[in-house]
Structure 1
Amino acid sequence: MISKSTIDTVFETARVEEVIGDFVVLKRAGSNYKGLSPFSDERSPSFMVSPVKQIWKDFSSGKGGNSVAFLMEHEHFTYPEAIRYLAKKYNIEIEETEQTDEEKANTDVRESMYLVSEFAKNYFHETLLHAEEGKAIGYSYFRERGFTNETIKKFALGYSPEVWDSFSKEALGKGYKLEFLESTGLTIVKEEKLIDRFRGRVMFPIQSMSGRILGFGARILGNDKKAAKYLNSPESDIYHKSKVLYGIFQAKQAIAKQDNCYLVEGYTDVIQFNQSGIENVVASSGTALTSDQIRLINRLTKNITVLYDGDAAGLRASIRGIDLILEEGMNVKVCTFPEGEDPDSFAKKTPYEDLVLYLENNAKDFIQFKASLLMNEAKNDPIKKADLIRDMVLSISKIPDRIKREIYIQECSRIMDISEQVLLNTLAQLVQKDISETVKKGKQEQKAFEVVKNTDSIALEKVDVLYELEKKIIEILLSYGNKIEEFEDILLKSNKEGEIENITEKKEYKVYQRIYLSLQEDEVELSNPLFREIYNNLINYFHQNETFQIEQYLMHLEPKFSQEVTSLLMIEEQQALHNWEGQQIIVKLKDQSIAQYVSETILTMRWFLVDAIIEELKKSISLEPDADNSEPLSMVMDYYKLINSFSKKLGRVMSRYN
């Protein structure tokens, strides 16, 4: 187990904006940062990071928390994994305490798969560098491709021996379980025999954005015509081919810095470009480009440049991926290499400056690229030319931004020598067709969208006032709980004539003490189960600790509370509340003191609870002519007087909740 002192050091050192910045492009927004949600498909940023509070909140999905919570959500780390990742990032030495047998037995299945994959990466890499077979075959191959020792190490390239079960035996001997060797696809069990899936191949570890080993790509070097040239890990709980990009771990910082991502097809294309000095490059690993892969890039940049070799036959099939990129609202350019060249071979023989210059000069807008590629096919055939134009307009219709669509229509009109109006009419038909299909597939979503537009008139009718008030109390405790404020106490004292009168005294309390004493006095317990647990947790924390630092509190907070707590801490970053005053919900104003804010919230809650009591009493009043309702009516009048006093203290006209 990781020691408590190490965990404390990690939390004290890690900066949430730096940790998240490795995965999401963050832009300054006042004292905070904002970016696109990594948990949902969106085009307008709703993901907020607060450096001051050291927390983040994704308003589109509702997720939130600290640095560790982000890694657990985004990378599916366990808590110890997240701590280890941060310790490595910030060069913090990890102190370990011995794990019990029970703790070892409870290790997560996915974690076991990750551990096996990490072992495999190291095994293949060491075999490449130090085993005779690895050096003679694998290492020699990579050196012939022009890869330096530094590059081989950077991408952890490896070699799997030709022996049937060399890796499997080694892994089992080191204590790794066969079930995880099978589930990751590293080992095949056939007729009770162990077979290494990748035997006799050079290995390309496939990493997640955080650097975890998800799977492997492997290339055979022999002349066995029956065997596939390239072989990938099978789909598993940790490896989904359509959702990963080769090289994203090495490229993520360069992509964000350059605000552009070069997209290639193969492993060696990525490695050769990286070695040449252009690091913002990833590969779809030979698969057809998917929306999930594009969204992975979208977290880092809006700009993609697709690099194709000079094979015309392959180009025609590959341009289908361009429409997918456009659908995600991204900007796409295309660059091709001379016939007979691919990104790997071209980068290998081209100096860095010349390579950069070539990419800049030959990267075409997708409209220009499609026109130049397809015009050769159409030539003087008017039917084919019409199909070509329709194909280009179809791509333009995929662009979500209307202004961009119109600009591209103008460009298409100029290139193809056809009137804008004809193109606009065709575009309108295609867009309308897409809308119609969307409506058919998701009528419920469309209805939900219509409802959202009328939130001011509809949603407010359904506001749970008590829920909002209890949420306000938790928010106050989190934001101001340990602050000392001056509050007014109203005491009952006898004057010289022996009459009882109200005397106002001012006294200092910590905010949490004032709230605690007020609720105790009224014998009120929060009705919402989650808020009640958080409230008790906070009060206990305040009682046991002289100081309150949100980072320290979040460190020890149970995961079931973190999402709600983060939402409350980021309330100012969320959109302004709509007409809460009309619903008797207090919103703190900038010129309002904390003591006033606390007092008004508690008074409003008392008002609501007393009002509920009145309603119950009214139900007990009998409508029978001879019924004696004096007692309940008297109580109702007393409670109305109490509400009237609340109203005066709040400085508002008395109103009702129902």
Structure 2
Amino acid sequence: MISKTTIDQVFETARLEEVIGDFVQLKKSGSNFKGLSPFTDERTPSFMVSPVKQIWKDFSSGKGGNVVAFLMEHEHFSYPEAIKYLAKKYNIEVEETQRTDEQKQEANERESMYLVSEFAQKHFAEMLWETELGKAIGLTYFKERGFNHDTIKKFGLGYCLDQWDGFTKSALDQGYKLEYLEKTGLTIVKENPQNANDPKKFDRFKARVMFPIHSMSGRVLGFGGRILKNDKKAAKYQNSPESEIYHKSKVLYGIYYAKQAIAKEDNCFLVEGYTDVIQFHQRGIENVVSSSGTALTPEQIRLINRLTKNITVLFDGDAAGLRASLRGIDLILEQGMNVKVCSFPEGEDPDSFAKNNELEEIESYLSENAKDFIQFKANLLAKEAANDPIKRADTVRDIVNSISKIPDGIKREIYIQECAGIMNVSEGVLFSTLAQITKKGRSEAAKSNEPEQKAFEVVKNEATVEKVDVQYELERKIIEILLLYGGETEEFEDLELKESEEGDLILEPISIEAKVFEKIFLDLQDDEIELANDNFRKIYYKLIEALNQTEEFKLSGFLASQDQDIVSEISSIMMEEEKYILHNWERKDIFPKDKKLGVAQLTSETILTLRCFLIKKRMLALQDGTKESTADHRETLEEIMNYLHLNKLLNKKLNRVLS
């Protein structure tokens, strides 16, 4: 268990905008920050971060919370793991009791798989540095590749000994379960015909140098292993299989080490292999990632998209590889990103080029040779088409097809103009071709989304109007007022029910000074009103208790001690109005009134409106009761009339006219 002192220090020190900034490119928006949602595929920012409130809200997915909630949602951390991650980031010493074997067993499956992967990375690194075979084979290989000791340690590189089950035995001896060793793919388990209770166990990465694959937050998800022996039957590179924690299509090698540099440089270099990334990083170019030998996927591109809109794809001089990689460019364009392409001289790849040149030379080469994708593709395909008119026409169509992937209309037009100049074709023809491709794409998309309709079936379009839950909205507003202004002292105009000289009930205004939370609590208590929504009721009592115990209420401190479901609910309430900032009303000369100007009025009107709603609800219930029974209803009718009169007085106070 992590001590409360550590948890409090973490929440006190951690800055939400800094932590989220490691995963999402944030831009200033008034007093807040905004960015693209890390949870959905979007092109218009709907993700808001409030440094003042230290909470975030993703309006596209509905998720929200504090700094720990973000890490739990985005990185699938458990609560303790999120605290440890933040403690490590801010150099805070974690006070905790030792995990027992029983606690290890109780850890959920996903967490157990992370723990096994973490152990594996440390084990392989230990074998590399502390065994004779590791140093003679693994370390020698890395040094031959040009990696220095600091780089090897930074990337957590290692070696799996040439033993059938050396790693597996070590993990089992340390108390890790075979079930999770198999699920992470670190151990291959096969049936034993001689003994069903003792299956055969093999290390998947036997005799390979190891490249740990990290998530954006630095968790070990899986491994890539390169064999060093000349074995024709074995694959040169082997990756961890797909698992609960490792999905090849959603991971980029090196993203953990590159994310800050990508955001800072506002550009990401995309290469093919592990050693390309490491070699560039060692030379001083850190904004580089790899798709780890797999075909580029939309999920991988979206990882980069959170940090920058600019990608520079680096190819080696292999012509066949160039053509195959062009397909990835179209995927990048579809995500609305800017693409540049740079190829190295024939016989060179990013690894060898970085190894054989100094930083200044590499930077100069990239700057001079990185071309816009349209120039690169046109030049490459034009060489192949040469004097063949049919091939040339196909080349033009291929380029226009790539341009059609770009979501931005202005960019599409500029690229069409550029293509016309390079390929010596009129803009009119290219625009016409673009229109045909776009129309065909829309038509196919419409067909695939069109629901199947039976013959002669009549489809009735009914306008559905979502009914507003008045009580829910009012209770939500009460929680919002408590969160924003609960500890403030205000001058309230209260109402006292009195009997006039004529014997009529009247509401007489009186002025009182009180804290907002005291006013709300006493009003609801006087009317014996209990919040109907379970979440709001839970939050309400926790807030009243917190506001009553402290002179200075801090939202971040309050959230630190709450369950994640409460944190999420509070974030939704607190950030609700922030979404209107996304619309930039000020640009349209619309200036919303600051509700803080009338806290007392807002509080009183919300409570009065809730009273009126509950009175009306009670009257309707009494009326329904008179219909169901034939008994004498004079007392009930008198009660209804009293409620009706009180409702009229309250609505008069609210300046509302009743029919």
Q: TM-score, with normalisation over the residues of structure 1?
A: 0.91
Which protein has greater RCO, CA pairs closer than 8 Å, 6+ apart?
2
How many correspondences in the alignment? 636
Distance 1:516 1:226, change over 3 A: same
8 Å CA contact 1:34–1:45 kept in 2: the answer is: yes
What SS does structure 2 have at the residue aligned with 1:250? helix
Partner residue, 1:68: 68
- C-alpha deviation, 1:437, in angstroms: 2.3
1:561 to 566, 587, 597: 566
How well do the aligned residues superpose, as a CA RMSD in angstroms? Answer: 2.7
| Match runs of 1:5-16 below 5 Å | 5-16=5-16
Aligned amino acid, residue 653 of structure 1: V
Deviation, structure 1 residue 139: 0.8
1:609 to 614, 626, 641: 614
SS of the residue aligned with 2:600? helix
Query: Retained in 2: the 8 A contact 1:302–1:331?
Result: yes
Q: What's 2:147 paired with?
A: 147
Partner amino acid, structure 1, of 2:444 = E
Structure 1 residue corresponding to 2:443, chosen from 436, 439, 458: 436
Aligned pairs (5 A) from 1:267-306: 267-306=274-313
Q: CA deviation at 1:265?
A: 0.4
Q: Give the alignment partner of residue 648 of structure 1, picking from 640, 643, 652.
A: 652
Match of 1:89 in 2: 89
- Aligned pairs for 1:418-437 (under 5 A) are 418-437=425-444
Match of 1:340?
A: 347
Identity percentage of aligned residues: 66
Any conservation in 2 of the 1:480–1:511 contact (CA below 8 Å)?
yes
What secondary structure does 2:580 align onto?
coil
Aligned to 1:412: 419
Distance 2:14 2:89 in 1: 9
Alignment of 1:117-136 (within 5 A): 117-136=117-136
Q: How does 1:439-458 map to 2 (within 5 A)?
A: 439-443=446-450
Deviation at 1:632, TM superposition (A): 5.7
User: How far has the Cα of 1:507 moved from its partner?
Assistant: 1.8
> Structure 2: which amino acid aligns with 1:388?
T
Q: What is residue 598 of structure 2 aligned with on the other side?
A: 593
Note the C-alpha offset of 1:438: 2.2
What is the CA distance between 1:619 and its match in structure 2? 4.5
CA distance in 2, matches of 1:62, 1:16: 18
CA shift digits 1:450-501 (9 cap, x unpaired)? xxxxxxx978762222221111111111111222222223335689999987
2:556 corresponds in structure 1 to 551
Deviates more, 1:562-571 or 1:493-502: 493-502
Q: Which consecutive unaligned segments of at least 5 residues does structure 1 have?
A: 445-456, 579-586
1:258 and 2:265 are equivalent in the alignment: yes
Amino acid at match of 1:394: N
CA distance in 1, matches of 2:116, 2:122: 10
Task: Give the equivalent residue in structure 2 for 1:174.
Answer: 174
Pick closer, same or farther for the CA change 1:576–1:161 going to 2, 3 Å.
closer
Partner of 2:215: 208
Alpha-carbon distance in structure 1 between the residues aligned to 2:102 and 2:516: 43
My pick for the range that moved more, 632-641 or 125-134, is 632-641
Counterpart residue number, 1:582? none
Describe the superposition over 1:229-287 as per-residue Cα deviations: whole angstroms up to 9, x where unpaired.
Answer: 00111111111111101010110000000000000000111111111111100000000
Which residue matches 1:159? 159
Structure 1 letter corresponding to 2:605: E
Paired residue for 1:482? 487
Cα 1:270–1:104, aligned 2, differ >3 Å: closer, same or farther?
Answer: closer
In structure 2, the CA distance between the partners of 1:203 and 1:623, relative to structure 1 (3 Å rule), is closer
What is the DSSP-based 3-state SS (H/G/I as helix, E as strand, rest coil) of the residue aligned with 1:172?
Answer: helix
Measure the CA separation in 2 of the matches of 1:204 and 1:540: 51
Indicate the SS of the match to 2:40.
coil
Structure 1 residues 204 and 499, CA gap change in structure 2 (3 angstroms): closer
Q: Structure 1 residues 230 and 491, CA, compared in 2 at 3 Å: closer, same or farther? A: same
Checking the alignment, whether the CA contact within 8 Å between 1:158 and 1:204 is kept in structure 2 is yes
Change (3 A) 1:492 1:187: closer
The Cα shift of 1:637 comes to 4.5
Q: CA deviation at 1:577?
A: 13
Inter-CA distance 440–248: structure 2 relative to 1 (3 Å threshold): same
Structure 1 equivalent of residue 321 of structure 2: 314
- Asked if the contact 2:75/2:217 (under 8 Å) is kept, the reply is yes
2:230 is aligned to 223
Do the aligned partners of 1:84 and 1:94 also contact (CA within 8 Å) in 2?
Answer: yes
Partners of 1:528 and 1:198 in 2: how far apart? 54
Alignment of 1:503-514 (within 5 A): 503-514=508-519
Say whether residues 1:538 and 2:530 are aligned partners.
no
Residue 398 of structure 1 aligns with an amino acid whose one-letter code is K
Residue 371 (structure 1) shift: 0.8
Amino acid across the alignment from 2:124: F
Contact 1:48 1:58 in 2 (8 A): yes
Question: Post-superposition shift, 1:509?
Answer: 2.1
Q: Relative to structure 1, is the Cα distance of residues 316 and 619 closer, same or farther in structure 2, using a 3 angstrom cutoff?
A: same
SS in 2 for 1:436: helix
Aligned to 2:368: 361
- Structure 2 distance, partners of 1:273, 1:85, is 27
Counterparts in 2 of 1:17-96, with a 5 A limit? 17-96=17-96
Residue 532 of structure 2: aligned partner:
527
Q: Out of 384-393 and 636-645, give the one that drifted further.
A: 636-645
SS of the residue 1:215 aligns to: strand
- In the alignment, the residues of structure 2 paired with residue 232 and residue 498 of structure 1 have an alpha-carbon distance, to the nearest angstrom, of 87
TM-score, with structure 2 as normaliser: 0.91
Q: Deviation per CA, 1:359-409: give whole Å up to 9, x if none.
A: 111111111111111112211111111111111111111111111111111
What secondary structure, in the 3-state scheme, does the structure 1 residue paired with 2:523 have?
A: helix
Residue 499 and residue 304 in structure 1: after superposition, are their counterparts in 2 closer, same or farther (change >3 A)?
closer
Greater shift in the superposed pair: 425-434 or 52-61: 425-434
Pick closer, same or farther for the CA change 1:498–1:29 going to 2, 3 Å: closer
Contact 1:622 1:629 in 2 (8 A): no
Shift of 1:560: 2.0
Query: Which residue does the alignment assign to 2:190?
Result: 190
| Compared CA separation, residues 492 and 345, structure 1 to 2 (3 A) | closer
Amino acid aligned to 1:643: N
SS at match of 2:92: coil
